[in-house]
Structure 1
């Protein structure tokens, strides 16, 4: 990789250590080595059980050996446990089976998970992550299954790539252990510094994959790039096109599909997500997804009851778009006060916004208002469902763009960042004032 991953700091990350201590409520964790600070003072002994006291003893010291390399979890995730989780999600989500239904001799996705090779450091990290978030194991396993499925369809003659993506799927979010959990709540508005910290979790994850898990470079790269998009509007490095590795493209699309496949009307949501903004993902891989999902006969599933998208929901999106246009126009009216770099950032973001606006207009769901008083037929219910999927996707992309601007603002001075944060607030649909907070990356 041309990008140089950082080393794991010898100063223990407080969020990681807090997660480790909390996980001791569910599983026993012990130390595999004596722990010394960099002055040579022994802080903890090999074999000691991790507890709340462990946190206070290590958190304020730089260590000779990072604590991540000294942990052993008694009942860490095994290949058998991962395979059982895989069987559960495959039974629960039929679309998942379509995406990863393959077999080469005796080799299957379930078999690869069962035979997954992880050292003690890797399995300990995974155990802490799964204890921190009860849904993390399901999402990790689903991402791994989809990544193997797409890899098999795309590069069926590359068994090593299958192994790398199996591991990358399981560990793609491991860097989130180093981020304040509050910043990962769905309703939490992130400050520039918080978003900067969160958006670094792929870098942290790739560094852990190298130093703690000892995974190969392909696995590291897939973890590093799992939030990058082919159109350049991903993070942490805004890669685009050929700048993404094959493993990164597979991991990125797999992570998106794993998130969508658990939602109601998953197939409709996936269709909308992949069509509404062409170019976000590798076109060949997107074609493979359609082929895998629609390549066989399937019993039609009626839209679920309770799709309550109404004309006012569509109107709210129009109002949000109008607010962005108004804010941008006002900022540009005083463009003589902007630094050229800031003006360029704003222009780039606005061009992206225009693409989202066009995508919204092209769906035609503004016609929902004319159907407001029609009978609540199956046809109308399907239209409402499609509208709901579109609104969710548009809102998500506006929020992603807001976060991208917030991240760029974090690299600027307070005065320069002002216009970016103002436009970011409009994109996110909030005019709240963000209070900056220093958030450690590790």
Structure 2
């Protein structure tokens, strides 16, 4: 997706998933309509002063509302700036990553200062309150990512006003997820092919909601739109690269990854993150990564006494070798001028360049499958070395999955196998879908 259009079945103003979460929140705390709620034909659905709860869901979900419902609600104990400050202070005291960032700045006050001037109109406060009550893991992620973004902003020399804009963008970056089916947050729910359209659209949804408030600078809107882009052009929704990504967008895309690693992994998050940032140096902004890597070194040393993660390395090496061999075999069966005829913007050009880049990165890291067998023999008894080999394997397999997902997303017609080049990519994707 290269434009800013939403899938036709995704309506951010009348999302049944968001409405379900909102009335679920209203069952737990007092939520009152402070103005009447109408459908787009002018029919009054809810009187002013009505207590909102889940009994209203069926009535509301059947109508297209004239205005977003969260513009007209009064909420007991909403998320506001004091609540955000308290939640972030607790995060700094309880979680490794925010604590590490605050220590690096000398005090938690520096990390929290940009929040004090953060705009929070009623509709945004409502969405954040829904997130806090109904999707607490998403709320915690937004807070943790915000602390990383503020840290990177301060280290980059941004003024406090700019850091406040950055904090708002980080806090609100995943609002679009509230409008997605919650089942998609289940790690066992595999989203591929056309089903990925809502996932890919969530930065657009969040950007449009932020724009609609007219409370935030354009820089915040654009940064939210860019928080899943990558410096090498492999991100989404617009596949921007390098200088096309704004400075705040670069901060958000790195902050998203840093926060996600500490949330996803209880074992050795610093070593995993350090490895991913080094192995994927083309994907992330080097100047910002340079602020993060030194902080991870002390954590890596502390983690080194943990149990090694090398037990699954042999199978990972085998899968990587099979993936690259499968692609080489499929390419060998094509005419010699296939790459030139297909073009860099084709599915074939994309798959070939991404698999080639992955192999190059593994070679640079001394971790290509053809090197790892010998390396594994040399590392027997070296727990840290075995752990890193396993982490390299896991990251490389994750990148293979990303290539598969991107092929399905960008070229849904691949299964038609209209050309020999398309057939080769489709065959590789079929292999990867079975194996990964």
Alignment TM class, shorter chain as reference: 0.7 to 0.9
| C-alpha spacing 1:375/1:385, structure 2 compared with 1 (3 Å) | closer
Q: Distance in 1 between matches of 2:390 and 2:26?
A: 41
2:111 match: 109
2:123 to 121, 124, 132: 121
2:33 match: 31
After superposition, residues 132-151 of structure 1 pair within 5 angstroms as 132-151=134-153
Secondary structure class of the residue paired with 1:211: helix
CA shift, 1:43, in A, is 1.1
Count how many residue pairs are aligned between Structure 1 and Structure 2. 424
After superposition, residues 347-426 of structure 1 pair within 5 angstroms as 347-365=349-367, 366=369, 369=373, 377=381, 380-410=382-412, 419=423, 422-426=427-431
Q: Distance in 2 between matches of 1:369 and 1:430?
A: 20
2:325 match: 322
Q: Deviations over 1:253-296 (max 9, x none)?
A: 011011113422122112211111222112211222234545x8
| C-alpha spacing 1:306/1:274, structure 2 compared with 1 (3 Å) | closer
Scaled by the length of structure 1, the TM-score of the pair is 0.83
Q: Distance in 1 between matches of 2:378 and 2:107?
A: 55
Q: Deviations over 1:190-241 (max 9, x none)?
A: 2322211110000000111121473221211111110011111100000111
After superposition, residues 218-237 of structure 1 pair within 5 angstroms as 218-237=219-238
CA shift, 1:348, in A, is 1.9
Secondary structure class of the residue paired with 1:214: coil
1:267 to 245, 267, 270: 270
Moved more, 311-320 or 198-207: 311-320
CA shift, 1:399, in A, is 1.8
Moved more, 24-33 or 102-111: 102-111
Secondary structure class of the residue paired with 1:135: helix
Q: Distance in 2 between matches of 1:362 and 1:334?
A: 28
CA shift, 1:150, in A, is 0.5
Contact 2:102–2:110, Cα closer than 8 Å, also in 1: no
Q: Distance in 2 between matches of 1:406 and 1:328?
A: 19
CA shift, 1:347, in A, is 1.2
| C-alpha spacing 1:127/1:305, structure 2 compared with 1 (3 Å) | same
Which stretches in structure 2 are left out of the alignment for 5+ residues? none
Secondary structure class of the residue paired with 2:120: coil
CA shift, 1:424, in A, is 3.6
Q: Deviations over 1:25-77 (max 9, x none)?
A: 43333323211122221111223233333222222322221224234432222
Q: Distance in 1 between matches of 2:251 and 2:345?
A: 34
CA shift, 1:119, in A, is 1.8
Contact 1:99–1:293, Cα closer than 8 Å, also in 2: no
2:288 to 275, 285, 288: 285
CA shift, 1:138, in A, is 1.9
Contact 1:31–1:48, Cα closer than 8 Å, also in 2: yes
Contact 2:229–2:240, Cα closer than 8 Å, also in 1: yes
Structure with larger RCO (C-alpha < 8 A, sep 6+): 1
CA shift, 1:112, in A, is 3.4
Which stretches in structure 1 are left out of the alignment for 5+ residues? 432-442
After superposition, residues 329-348 of structure 1 pair within 5 angstroms as 332=334, 344-348=346-350
Give the helix-richer structure, 1 or 2: 2
Contact 1:95–1:293, Cα closer than 8 Å, also in 2: no
